[in-house]
Amino acid sequence: MLAVPPPANEFAPFWKRILPRSSRAPGRLYAHIRFPPLGRDPDRPAVSSRSAQSHIRGYVAVIARRQIWPRQIPPSMEQPMPGDTLQEFLAIYTQQLKPLLRERALAGWQVATTGETAAAEHMAEVTKALMTLHADPERFAQLAAWVHEPPPADPWLARQLETTHLAFARYQMDEATIEQLASLAKEVHQAFVNFRGTFQGRPVSNNEIETILRTAPGSEVLQAAWEASKQIGGVVVETVLTLVHRRNEAARRLGYPNYYQMSLALDEIDPARLFGMLDELDALTREPFRRAKARLERVLAQHYTLPVAALRPWHYHDPFFQRPPQVGPGLERLDQFFADVDQLELAKRTYGGMGMEVEDILSASDLYAREGKDQHAFCTMIDRDTLDVRVLCNLQPDLRWTETLLHELGHAVYDRYLPPALPFLLREPAHTASTEAIAMLFGRLPLNPTWQREILGLPAGVVAELTPALQAQERLGMLIFIRWGLVMLHFERAMYTDPEQDLNTLWWDLVERYQFLTRPEGRHAPDWAAKIHLALYPVYYQNYLLGELMASQLQHTIEQRFGRLVNEPRAGRFLVANYFAQGATADWDRTIERATGERLQPRYFVEQFVA
């Protein structure tokens, strides 16, 4: 529960708006989404309902024998499907879904923390079982029929129908496709967990590569480290391209032009609105970014004793130039402030100051680097009922990993403070972008002067001296990230539109267009495939950009109401009661509107970081 309970009735108006028996009539389902015509491609072998149920029953029996979860096959596995009423359908579906979601999360955690082949194979099996559950054409047909009827009067029931139909629509594919997608994803996942680039004849971790890029003095060493960061791309590229083709084939069978378009539709994102926002951000950030990058490059050129024209991608301190280099007056000292502090205590103080407890989350987490462990960072909800939430990091005593820890814990507190009264199917964040917004909001704090004084404990005089540089660094970081995000989104859309084109050249065309970097002479390698999101988390990156916009809108609302976020319990209560508590009862745009009074508006981000 909240460490600081909210005053009585402080948030009552919100609850009155979302109670399931509210008199507010929901709008017709899917008014904002245009689905392709219903029906199945006659040339596509469907997954039969009997086959789907047989596969899931068999899988449940196997893992019950292994005692991975309770030795009991849910009664729903033996019942004919679908249910006679929507409520019965959802009850049976939930009963089947719960153990599979938990088992997939546990399997994913085992893969990420050990890199074991057996764990990866187990994860592929449970992923296949989940896909098969949602591939059942009879159940999908029943959902489609309900969707085209007048919506239920109960808005929570109506929303569960929406989200369940979207979940089933994504996996209407044959058994062979399910098998292949699960197997290919397992192969790529294992590669990213276990691969280490080779630098100067020895294997190096991602953390080591990034340290070299930040600290090495000479271009030759920097280039070798940067190239080591891209070696994973050559390992996985063929498998990733096969995944792209198989995903596209599945999407076309459902009537979509490609997997990218299908994914946006099923994630309730209007492509025209999304790319309209991207065009607006491109236009608004282009010249500010050009000027900021020119200032940065003068500092980098002086640092490396090079002319600006000689700078190449390995001179920017990050493998993809998605974060700002820490160069310039005062900025080189930033990592020193984190060298001797307990990052876990910083995290506890950060969230505790807003009335949110994270100690048990940290206790269940895996936070430090070791051989065989995933080198990235993520948060996972293992079990919605028991609130088993964990974070994986590879902490180093520096600014970047402190930001990452606070970011991942932002996801964690969102999961942790979802109301248990919500139906299981709505007891999750409203959208991936919605939880990214909270992660982004908290991940920004280490550059916040108030946080540096009150949480990090820097003397007020030091913070005052650093503040102008920190504000400029934060602004530069946001400009860099937006321009990098434009590369990712335009590349991924183009890749799924035409995966046969020269993607290696396209990648550098977009890097030059949006990041203004000079491509390395003569390089023609699958550098794009080294980005784990393109390989393993398809059509995901737009959630980061939308999340940044949402974070600024939430921050604006919090500052208008309470003055600040750091050490402000009212801000924590506001987020829990007005944002987290909605769960998935509405789409991402309606969720941000309920919390802030407006649908998503880019102007708050622009005012904060661009204007």
Question: Distance of CA 189 to CAs 102, 185, 203, 469, Å?
Answer: 19, 6, 19, 39
Amino acid found at 366: D
Q: What is residue 18's predicted lDDT score, i.e. its pLDDT?
A: 36
Convert 114-147 into a string of H (helix), E (strand) and C (coil). HCCHHHHHHHHHHHHHHHHHHHCHHHHHHHHHHH
Distance CA 324, CA 315 (A): 11
> Distance of alpha carbon 252 from its chain centroid, rounded?
25
Are the CB atoms for 560 and 261 separated by under 8 Å?
A: no
The predicted-structure confidence for 493-515, as pLDDT tens digits, reads as follows 999 999 999 999 999 999 999 99
Q: Which of 387, 347, 394 is nearest to 364 (CA)?
A: 387
The predicted-structure confidence for 202-225, as pLDDT tens digits, reads as follows 999 999 999 999 999 999 999 999
Q: Band of the pLDDT at 326, cuts 50, 70, 90?
A: confident
The predicted-structure confidence for 466-491, as pLDDT tens digits, reads as follows 999 999 999 999 999 999 999 999 99
Q: Which of 447, 437, 449, 495 is nearest to 473 (CA)?
A: 447
Are the CB atoms for 259 and 538 separated by under 8 Å?
A: yes
- List the structure tokens of 166: 């979207």
- List the structure tokens of 157: 């029931």
Helix (H, G, I), strand (E, B) or coil at 235: helix
Q: What is residue 334's predicted lDDT score, i.e. its pLDDT?
A: 87
Helices 86-114/155-170 angle, 10° precision: 50
Q: What is residue 32's predicted lDDT score, i.e. its pLDDT?
A: 33
**What are the boundaries of each domain within the chain?**
46-187
Q: What is residue 36's predicted lDDT score, i.e. its pLDDT?
A: 35
Q: What is residue 149's predicted lDDT score, i.e. its pLDDT?
A: 96
The predicted-structure confidence for 391-425, as pLDDT tens digits, reads as follows 999 999 999 999 999 999 999 999 999 999 999 99
Q: What is residue 82's predicted lDDT score, i.e. its pLDDT?
A: 55
Q: What is residue 327's predicted lDDT score, i.e. its pLDDT?
A: 86
Give the residue-averaged pLDDT of 172-178. Answer: 93
Q: What is residue 611's predicted lDDT score, i.e. its pLDDT?
A: 80
The predicted-structure confidence for 3-24, as pLDDT tens digits, reads as follows 333 333 333 333 333 333 332 3
Helix (H, G, I), strand (E, B) or coil at 6: coil
Q: Does position 66 have pLDDT exceeding 90, yes or no?
A: no
Other Cβ atoms closer than 10 A to 280: 13
CATH topology of domain 46-187: Four Helix Bundle (Hemerythrin (Met), subunit A) (1.20.120)
Q: Mean pLDDT across the chain, nearest whole number?
A: 88
Distance CA 603, CA 611 (A): 9
Q: Which of 591, 589, 609, 610 is nearest to 601 (CA)?
A: 589
Give the residue-averaged pLDDT of 241-260. Answer: 96
Q: What is residue 83's predicted lDDT score, i.e. its pLDDT?
A: 62
Contacts with 160 (C-beta within 8 Å, 6 or more apart), sequence order: 90, 423, 425, 426
